[in-house]
Structure 1
Amino acid sequence: MGSPSIHLVTRRVHLFVRSSHDLCTTGNCTNCSHLYLLRQHWWEGWYLGSAHVPTVSNASEMEEQDDNQPTTGSPDTSVLEPTKPNLFPQRLWRATRRLLPVNIWQEVKDLCVIAGPVFLSQIMVYMVNIVSSIFCGHLGKIELDSVTLAVAVINVTGVSIGSGLSSACDTLISQTFGGKNLKRVGTILQRGVLIVLLFCFPCWAIFMNTEQVLLLCRQNPDVARLTQMYVMIFMPALPAVFLYQLQTRYLQNQGIIWPQVITGASVNIINAAVNAIFLYGLNLGVVGSAWANMISQFAMCLLLFLYIRFKKLYVETWSGWSWDCLQEWGSFIRLAIPSMLMMCIEWWSFEIGGFLAGLVSVTELGGQAIMLELATTAYIIPLGFSVAASVRVGNALGAGDPEKAKASCNVAIFCTVFFSVITSIFLVVLKDEVAYIFTPDREIVALVSRLMLIFGPFHLCDAMACTCGGVLRGTGKQKTGAIMNAIGYYLVGFPIGISLMFAAKLGVMGLWLGMLICVFLQASFFLTFSLRLNWSKVCEEAQVRAGVKPKKEEAEPDVSQLEISCNGFAMVPDGITQSSSNQCAITSAEVAGAAVLPDAAEEIQGDELLIQEDSANVLVNVVGEVLPVKQLILRRGLALGSAIISLLIGVVIKILTANGNG
């Protein structure tokens, strides 16, 4: 007899299982579980290509066999196994299902609630430079090159430093806020303000010597001079840039994102108006563009501060300036420096790539510039999920929920893969047209079209590494990320890319092949590390960092101070032993000779556990060693002195090189 159609068999299996379950009158029906496995194995076997699938005709026989088996233990499901087990698609599907939480759609929604506004806020920040470049389009070639180079110098030696240092708050504030130690959040913000402002001094020292550095790189003297002028005008705005970065971390790690979007949109309007006045109205050229950029950065910082102030977003987490902000600088720096390196290593690599492309030809430089713009734009999408993953994971760990943190990590990675695949396919399909947005030059368009074939898989790997980097920040594992970035970019990607670029004469194509190898290794390592994290251990570390739990003491108990009373006979042993009859009670040496009843001992132990639990839940504002006032003044004074000395060194170099050029 021929087999029935797929739809008929499916319907009969469902009806058979449902009718069998209707006869069940208990809350724990073994037959129902068995029949559910029948339906599940039938579906997976048919859908994934199994050679043998149980049919409805032998379902009743299997049920009778199950009834004749002993009820102890789990039911035997060997009859349900397909004849071709361990098919790769089946194993992949089951492994994927194990990684995803039950409430996956709720987690996707929670991630998108954060990632969406972050995406918009990053676009607002990115548009400030885009608008400035558009207004500078009518300037001469030297002026336009100077503005472009000045913005690159500011980003590499200024903005990237502040943004990286502020990323320490992605760990500290997210975990502390998740642990509900709200006043400590304000203290962390104060500490961050002082530290990032000190880093302005060495950045200013570099800004002052921009022209000398560019001349050493054999840049056009006129371009170097105008770039120096732009950077010097922008210098006072650097603290505003750093403080804006801190404010965004302060808000987003509490799940507050929309203020950045609103203030960013307002700043773009201000930026366009100021550029129009200075460049078209007053014809100030490069100077006008620099002044417009400086004003826009101050406006961005000030508007966000006023929004926080008047909307009272600070009330729950700010209790005023405290001397505690001078404590724990070491723990902040230990997170801030690796965070900065994680960001700057990748950022600097692309800027260096643009410089190397200029050594090949103008066409190669144009193609690299367009690819960099496309990569930056496409990067904003995974950046949103990276921030969302950092916030969700950090909040969950601070709250003591490692399973929720793990679920947020897995769902964020899957969302990133989904959107990055769509983006990659879209750009590869439009590879022959997308370059016309930037230039009509056919040689550059043809080069970009070839590079887009590499950019597709590059973006997928880069997006996964970006989101996994957010997980590392949320868990406080920035040091691992910084080491891997350094190895991937400077020991693997760049050497291969430069070799292919110059030795193999592949030009920019060779550089991007090297970067593709780099991000593939980077994404593989980050993904493996994130999925194999010991979430319970990371959760303990997070709660200690958040000031919710004290550090575990490793000291051994003093056995000499303990006395064991066992069956009425007192003795002081060489080591602590435990009676097999559980009739021994450990008491203090102060009650030697006294009779301690088992009930009293249990009550004492219960009270001690209650006291320990209460003390463990006490929120603290300073974690770790508290420095005395004299030592605190000495150390913070040395930090301030070092920052000032770095600026003075920059001034001296500027004066000496100026006299040498003169």
Structure 2
Amino acid sequence: MDSLQDTVPPDHGGCCPALSRLVPRGFGAEMWTLFALSGPLFLFQMLTFMIYIVSTVFCGHLGKVELASVTLAVAFVNVCGVSVGVGLSSACDTLMSQSFGSPNKKHVGVILQRGALVLLLCCLPCWALFLNTGHILLLFRQDPDVSRLTEDYVMIFIPGLPVIFLYNLLAKYLQNQGWLKGQEEESPFQTLGLSILHPSHSHLSRASFHLFQKITWPQVLSGVVGNCVNGVANYVLVSVLNLGIRGSAYANIISQFAQTVFLLLYIVLRKLHLETWAGWSSQCLQDWGPFFSLAVPSMLMICVEWWAYEIGSFLMGLLSVVDLSAQAVIYEVATVSYMIPLGFSIGVCVRVGMALGAADTVQAKRSAVSGVLCIVGVSVLLGTVISILKNQLGRIFTSDEDVIALVSQVLPVYSVFHVFEAVCCVYGGVLRGTGKQAFGAAVNAITYYIIGLPLGILLTFLVRMRIMGLWLGMLACVFLATAAFVAYTARLDWKLAAEEAKKHSGQQQQQQRAESTVPRPGPEKAVLSSVATGSSPGITLTTYSRSDCHVDLFRTPEEAHTLSAPASRLSVKQLVIRRGAALGAASATLLVGLAVRILATRH
């Protein structure tokens, strides 16, 4: 079993032997690569987040009810829709990166098609919840006026959900195509005279330009387009036409459509798809089982953490307005801070997945260790800055002195929390790159819902520590999760992960199909013929013959059939039944949601 420490040579010397044993060989080059990937991805995530912030700002000037409504609407859409799609599409992080790192790059396009079909189907259950937004909020004792406006926003947003899903999928399609081995010669920083670490292992500047132009630039540019359209649309619909919160919902949809169409056109017109797209294929209907075996744990891994924050905000609302306001401020700071490790997490996932797809376990381990070391340094620096600015950050969001004072008390605890949360986030990228999302989902479920939240509730309400108790419970949660991830990856079998990557990238299916076209071993230049024997029912006599030899091989028809078709492939009839059943189940869920809405409205 390979461990992470195997990437470090035992005789790695230097002025600090302990540090040398921790840092893998080639860390400098890998660090620059991760920063080159993660920096633009951080910007991309921020641009995506800004669309919701702009909507909140415009509605905040309409009144308290409108501000509360749009905030609640965005939270509802995220919890019941966006988080599900983002989680399910995270399976593509594993499948696409490993396929792109393998010789079977065209399989990336098949995964894109498969992911699009799955996500579009998953829109139907999400819409069932959207249709009943008002009734769900009233069930949780929300204000009737706020619930009504929130439902208006969410109902208008229904067509935007599949667009968000497709945009996220297209972004992952680009993100999981990056540097490959053989492009690593000179760092982009070296061309500026800034190569300071391992210059002999740096990366070629043209590879940096390729990465920026092909992968990160389209995403950032689409985010800029979406935000520009969103700002203009909000101004026209909310401020000029006075459509209120409904106008903000329309503006959000328009911006989502704009950035998705722009990104799709950019990919097609710039021909960024040629290397990985072989056209529409019925293969996208195959292998849904393996896809969901990664997608469901990925969804749980993300949603479990995401929902825990929303539950925390709900709990603070049970205390006082001051605690809820302080939680809202810290939540905004946490969201912005989380974008940095999220960028590193995506970068590490891409690097690890591509390396495993290429069967390069040494590079995969190097990328994993380097990513963790990078985020430890960055998160400690950011946490220190947050602690220093604890008295100023609250004033950005509010002028209420009670809220500002409470925020300044909690931010030092959050600073420590952020370090462990960032490390967990990057380890999540390692798990997605290796296809081990199930372990991450189990750890998050246990640490958040069995340890973190119960402890936080105990400290908040029984010990009367209020919001401080919640964040101390969350701190214990991420500390234990970090310990679990470190222990698991230290004992990870990287060679086995590389073998599993062959399955994910479709290499084994290709090999099976190739082998099925080759006759079983027989005499050289043999003539293959088959006759049915009357004396042995169900047996086919396969005869290899040539002038100087004669070999008879007996096989059943079933054995002969396995040579021409891999056993895992479904027939057309099976595909129609199974995919039709999936469509029927999703549609039935939507119909149930519609029926509940009609019945609840009548009563």
With normalisation by structure 1, the TM-score equals: 0.75
- The count of residues paired between Structure 1 and Structure 2 equals 513
Kept in 1: contact 2:85–2:119 (CA 8 A): yes
C-alpha displacement at 1:453, in angstroms? Answer: 1.5
Q: Which residue matches 1:493?
A: 452
Q: Which residue matches 2:249?
A: 290
> Any idea what the Cα deviations from partners look like across 1:390-432, whole Å, max 9, x if unmatched?
0000000000100000000000000000000000000001111
**Secondary structure in structure 2 of the residue aligned to 1:129:** helix
CA distance in 1, matches of 2:108, 2:294: 16
Kept in 2: contact 1:367–1:444 (CA 8 A): yes
C-alpha displacement at 1:522, in angstroms? Answer: 0.7
Q: Which residue matches 1:657?
A: 600
Instruction: Extract unaligned runs of 5+ from structure 2.
Output: 1-10, 179-214, 513-520, 522-543, 550-563
Write out aligned runs for 1:477-516 (5 A).
477-516=436-475
Kept in 2: contact 1:494–1:511 (CA 8 A): yes
Q: Which residue matches 2:537?
A: none
Letter in 2 for 1:450: Q
> Any idea what the Cα deviations from partners look like across 1:622-655, whole Å, max 9, x if unmatched?
9870001111110000000000000000001001
Pick from 305, 324, 337 the counterpart of residue 264 of structure 2. 305
Letter in 2 for 1:517: A
Write out aligned runs for 1:347-366 (5 A).
347-366=306-325
Q: Which residue matches 1:438?
A: 397
Letter in 2 for 1:110: T
Q: Which residue matches 2:168?
A: 245
CA distance in 2, matches of 1:283, 1:225: 18
**Secondary structure in structure 2 of the residue aligned to 1:320:** coil
CA distance in 2, matches of 1:148, 1:187: 37
Matched, 1:460 2:419: yes
C-alpha displacement at 1:95, in angstroms? Answer: 4.7
Pick from 414, 421, 433 the counterpart of residue 373 of structure 2. 414
CA distance in 1, matches of 2:461, 2:402: 20
Q: Which residue matches 1:647?
A: 590
Letter in 2 for 1:643: A
C-alpha displacement at 1:100, in angstroms? Answer: 2.5
Matched, 1:103 2:46: no
Write out aligned runs for 1:586-605 (5 A).
none
CA distance in 1, matches of 2:438, 2:567: 20
Q: Which moved more, 1:494-503 or 1:635-644?
A: 494-503
Kept in 1: contact 2:348–2:433 (CA 8 A): yes
C-alpha displacement at 1:530, in angstroms? Answer: 2.0
Q: Which residue matches 2:516?
A: none
Q: Which residue matches 2:97?
A: 174
C-alpha displacement at 1:524, in angstroms? Answer: 1.2
Pick from 117, 120, 139 the counterpart of residue 194 of structure 1. 117
User: Given the superposition, is the C-alpha separation of residues 549 and 328 from structure 1 closer, same or farther in structure 2, using an over 3 Å criterion?
Assistant: closer
Pick from 566, 572, 578 the counterpart of residue 629 of structure 1. 572
CA distance in 2, matches of 1:629, 1:403: 41
Q: Which residue matches 2:554?
A: none
**Secondary structure in structure 1 of the residue aligned to 2:103:** coil
Q: Which residue matches 1:220?
A: 143
CA distance in 2, matches of 1:626, 1:649: 33
Matched, 1:258 2:181: no
CA distance in 1, matches of 2:581, 2:471: 44
Q: Which residue matches 2:228?
A: 269
Pick from 49, 73, 90 the counterpart of residue 126 of structure 1. 49
Kept in 2: contact 1:410–1:531 (CA 8 A): no
User: Given the superposition, is the C-alpha separation of residues 334 and 365 from structure 1 closer, same or farther in structure 2, using an over 3 Å criterion?
Assistant: same
User: Given the superposition, is the C-alpha separation of residues 623 and 200 from structure 1 closer, same or farther in structure 2, using an over 3 Å criterion?
Assistant: farther
Matched, 1:204 2:204: no
> Any idea what the Cα deviations from partners look like across 1:51-71, whole Å, max 9, x if unmatched?
xxxxxxxxxxxxxxxxxxxxx
Letter in 2 for 1:203: C
C-alpha displacement at 1:552, in angstroms? Answer: 11
C-alpha displacement at 1:287, in angstroms? Answer: 0.8
CA distance in 1, matches of 2:285, 2:493: 32
Kept in 1: contact 2:60–2:66 (CA 8 A): no
Does 1 or 2 have the higher relative contact order (CA < 8 Å, sep 6+)?
2
**Secondary structure in structure 1 of the residue aligned to 2:290:** helix
CA distance in 1, matches of 2:427, 2:82: 22
Q: Which moved more, 1:149-158 or 1:521-530?
A: 521-530
C-alpha displacement at 1:433, in angstroms? Answer: 1.3
Pick from 496, 500, 511 the counterpart of residue 541 of structure 1. 500
Kept in 2: contact 1:122–1:380 (CA 8 A): yes
Letter in 1 for 2:568: E
C-alpha displacement at 1:550, in angstroms? Answer: 6.0
Letter in 2 for 1:413: V
Q: Which residue matches 1:567?
A: none
Matched, 1:473 2:416: no
Q: Which moved more, 1:480-489 or 1:124-133?
A: 124-133
Letter in 2 for 1:491: I
> Any idea what the Cα deviations from partners look like across 1:86-111, whole Å, max 9, x if unmatched?
xxxxxxx5454234232211111111
The CA RMSD measured in Å over matched residues stands at 2.3
Letter in 2 for 1:405: A
Letter in 1 for 2:570: L
Kept in 2: contact 1:465–1:527 (CA 8 A): no
Kept in 2: contact 1:237–1:297 (CA 8 A): yes
CA distance in 1, matches of 2:18, 2:309: 36
Q: Which residue matches 2:73?
A: 150
Write out aligned runs for 1:360-375 (5 A).
360-375=319-334
Identity %: 51
CA distance in 2, matches of 1:229, 1:299: 22
Letter in 2 for 1:383: L
Q: Which residue matches 2:278?
A: 319
Q: Which residue matches 2:293?
A: 334
Q: Which residue matches 2:62?
A: 139
With normalisation by structure 2, the TM-score equals: 0.82
Instruction: Extract unaligned runs of 5+ from structure 1.
Output: 1-36, 45-92, 554-561, 563-589, 596-619
C-alpha displacement at 1:528, in angstroms? Answer: 2.1
Kept in 2: contact 1:545–1:623 (CA 8 A): no
Pick from 437, 449, 459 the counterpart of residue 408 of structure 2. 449
CA distance in 1, matches of 2:320, 2:338: 27
**Secondary structure in structure 2 of the residue aligned to 1:432:** helix
Letter in 1 for 2:63: G
Q: Which moved more, 1:222-231 or 1:132-141?
A: 132-141
